[in-house]
Chains A and B, each alone.
Chain A
Amino acid sequence: MSDILLEVKGLKKHFVVGKNFLKRHRSVCKAVDDVSFTIKKGKTLGLVGESGCGKSTLGRCVLRLHDITDGEVSFDGVNLFNLAPKELKELRRDIQIIFQDPFASLSPRMTIHDILREPLDVNKIGTVNEREAKIAEVMKIVGLRPQVLNRYPHEFSGGQRQRVGIARALVLEPKFIVADEPVSALDVSVQAQVLNLIADLQEKKGISFLFIAHDLAVVQHICDDVGVMYLGRMVEKAPAETLYKNPKHPYTRALLSAIPVPDPTYKSDKIQLQGDVPSPLSPPSGCTFRTRCPEATERCKEEVPMTHDVGVDGEEHLVACHLYR
């Protein structure tokens, strides 16, 4: 048995926008453009990038919440996009998602109990008693008291709601969870609580995660590998420790240096990027990062950089930049 749980090969997701009724003037937004990666059983990949880089779209493609333009997503050796609806429904038990906004992703008209019970009912799992036992179990795992089961989401704080969201993802005992910015909407002290909870789940339940975030500092503690995305492309991917110690791509370096340092005596030599992320509707030619890159040359304008492995000691460190070839 292979230890690869999720394999994404050459994934492309293009959205057609601005289509008029004569189908003219169509422009294509390449939200995800030729991205490949694998996640091994029990491991976590962090996906980092700024708004509009395609990280959430990628997360949704992995769940087949979007259809894809090209490429392949296989989960446990099964191609997700070849499955009949019934088979897909069965497979989805193993793949769950935690959303960014704990305020929008829980139904305001359902009690916590109903929210947690619904996935079990839909998938017809166990007897009534077993379902209730399962609910009690996940409540305990995420650290919510059983007394709150009959409350509604609005009675909870952001951190507690995110725990409910995590409990809902856990109730079907998935092998894999896509966590789409699960802590971005939370206060710092609560952020750390939720991150610790996710770390526990990795350790005790052996669940694999695709952890999407816009902040490299948040990702460090819970990811084995980290991928950095820019305008739909994966520009760098490496084991977490290597990426933080030895970032290769100029964009990764800029992202790392943009994190504010909580030390007033620290004199930073920040790499400050100029300008904004270009519109994904009309990305720059060649390397899409060249318009903001401090190291851009003529070559970057003409040639799209290929992904190369620059890792040492057999470690895979992928980077798509002309500086390294």
Chain B
Amino acid sequence: MNNLHKDSLDIEKAAPILTVDNLTVDFTTDKGTIRAIDGISFEVMPGETLAIVGESGCGKSVSSLSIMGLVPSPPGNIVDGSIKFNNRELIGLSEKEYRKVRGNDISMIFQEPMTALNPVLKISTQMVDVIRLHNKVSKSQAKERAIKMLETVGIPSPESRIHEYPHQLSGGMRQRVMIAMALSCGPDLLLADEPTTALDVTIQAQVMSEMVRLQKQLGMAVVLVTHDLGVVAESCQRVVVMYCGQIIEQAPVNDIFANPKHPYTQGLLKSIPVVRERKISRLPTIDGVVPDLLDLPSGCRFTDRCQFSEDRCRTNRPQLSGTSTHQVACFNPIGGM
């Protein structure tokens, strides 16, 4: 277990563990080329939890897949930008080199644990494979470590559970197995792509609190990709909001919720379903729909749905600007900058 803690000592150092700079990803489709991600830049500090938030099709999942080098090519194509992990450029790595990074330095958990686990292999086989790929240990040592990891993520009687197949486990248990597998080699960075979306609320609460606890215990950095701002408020330190492939706002979690600058962020926050003191007659919404990625407005991409939209919003694209902690891409940020 010692090497699980290998990086908890140097959390203090200020250099980011992951730096994404001007990342641009295109997808070729029958109807033309779609720019799924359009020049996004962000950093992840060691030990912090960063949330990437946005609605379907905003590019949040493609961002995490790009970091893992899992964007299918074709049709996907990283056309520009760089992804640096601990100052090492990941774009352009050969498949062989990337395999050393995946699981060992950066791990990922997916939304649907049933499709991410191999249905015909026992949990033990799948976990031992991962551990032995990155560590020179015997099968029995690897198994011992796998059992320990299952125990860490809160699976009852892991010694017997490890011999089961994925279909014998419930959804919440499967997601715990995914987390155990992702953490079994002590990664410095965990990418969690909607880890609780497929789970029931009571199970979601269990899995999220487990993730927060593990993150503190193991001191790794987490990038949580989600559409659920409620989950973000309870578990993240910093938030990146994406819309149509671009980052439109990023800030510490308290700032985003107390003081959202972008009209889209504000709209998203208002439309979260919450239990209110009393029933209200109309739920707040964001009018209109997300524009087609094949036919994007030339200026700000939110302009057609924005109540503060003016002429320059339609012709010019606002750039991210603001303070060192809170940036927004809007000409009329709410409450000024």
> A-side interface residues toward B, CB under 8 Å?
50-51, 157-160, 187-193, 195-196, 199, 214-218, 220-221, 240-241, 244, 254-256, 258-266, 268, 270, 272-277
Contact = CB atoms under 8 A, between A and B. Distances in A.
Given A189-B55, A214-B200, A276 B230 contact: no
Contacts of A195: 283
B271 A188 contact: yes
A270 B204 CA distance: 12
Nearest to B54: A187
Given A187-B56, A188-B268, A241 B233 contact: no
Interface size class of B (residues with CB under 8 A): 35 or more
Given A195-B283, A258-B201, A260-B234, A188 B172 contact: no
B253 interface: yes
Given A188-B271, A216-B275, A255 B202 contact: yes
7 contacts: A218-B273, A255-B201, A256-B275, A262-B229, A262-B230, A264-B254, A276-B173
Contacts of A221: 279-280, 283
A104 to B, nearest CB: 16
A266 B201 contact: no
Give 7 closest A-B pairs by Cβ, nearest first.
Answer: A260-B230, A217-B273, A50-B200, A187-B55, A189-B286, A192-B283, A192-B285
Given A195-B283, A255-B201, A188 B273 contact: yes
B206 to A, nearest CB: 6
Contacts of A188: 55, 227-229, 268, 271-273
Contacts of B289: 157, 159-160, 190
A46 to B, nearest CB: 12
Nearest to A185: B56
A191 B275 contact: no
Contacts of A220: 275-276, 279
Given A260-B230, A276-B173, A214 B55 contact: no
Nearest to B254: A264
A195 B281 CA distance: 11
Nearest to A272: B205
Contacts of A264: 233-234, 253-254, 257
Contact of B274 (A191, A254, A259): A259
A221 B285 CA distance: 14
B202 A266 contact: no
Nearest to A159: B289
B203 interface: yes
Given A191-B271, A220-B279, A264-B254, A270 B230 contact: no
B282 interface: yes
B101 interface: no
B233 A192 contact: no
Contacts of B286: 189
B267 interface: yes
Contact of A189 (B202, B234, B268, B280): B268
Contacts of A266: 233
A140 B189 CA distance: 49
Contacts of A240: 279
A261 B232 CA distance: 9
Contacts of B280: 221
Contact of B206 (A158, A189, A191, A272): A272
Nearest to B280: A221
A198 to B, nearest CB: 10
Contacts of B203: 50, 276
Interface in B2-48: none
A277 to B, nearest CB: 8
B269 interface: yes
Contacts of A241: 278-279
A196 B282 contact: yes
A256 B202 CA distance: 9
Contact of A262 (B201, B205, B272): B272
B230 A189 contact: no
B290 interface: yes
B319 interface: no
A190 to B, nearest CB: 8
Contacts of B232: 262
Contacts of B272: 188, 262
Contacts of B135: none
B211 to A, nearest CB: 13
By CB atoms of chain A within 10 A, which of B253, B272, B286 has the most?
Answer: B272
A56 to B, nearest CB: 14
B231 interface: yes
A160 B56 CA distance: 14
B150 to A, nearest CB: 15
Interface in B212-269: 227-234, 253-254, 257-258, 267-269
Contacts of A214: 200-201
A102 to B, nearest CB: 12
Contact of B234 (A199, A244, A261): A261
Contacts of B55: 187-190
Given A188-B271, A216-B275, A218-B273, A268 B230 contact: no
B162 to A, nearest CB: 18
A239 B213 CA distance: 38
A152 to B, nearest CB: 14
B209 interface: yes
A158 B257 CA distance: 27
B205 A258 contact: yes
Given A259-B274, A265-B254, A273-B202, 17 more contacts: A50-B201, A50-B202, A191-B273, A195-B283, A221-B280, A240-B279, A255-B202, A260-B204, A261-B274, A262-B269, A263-B257, A265-B257, A265-B258, A266-B233, A273-B205, A276-B173, A277-B200
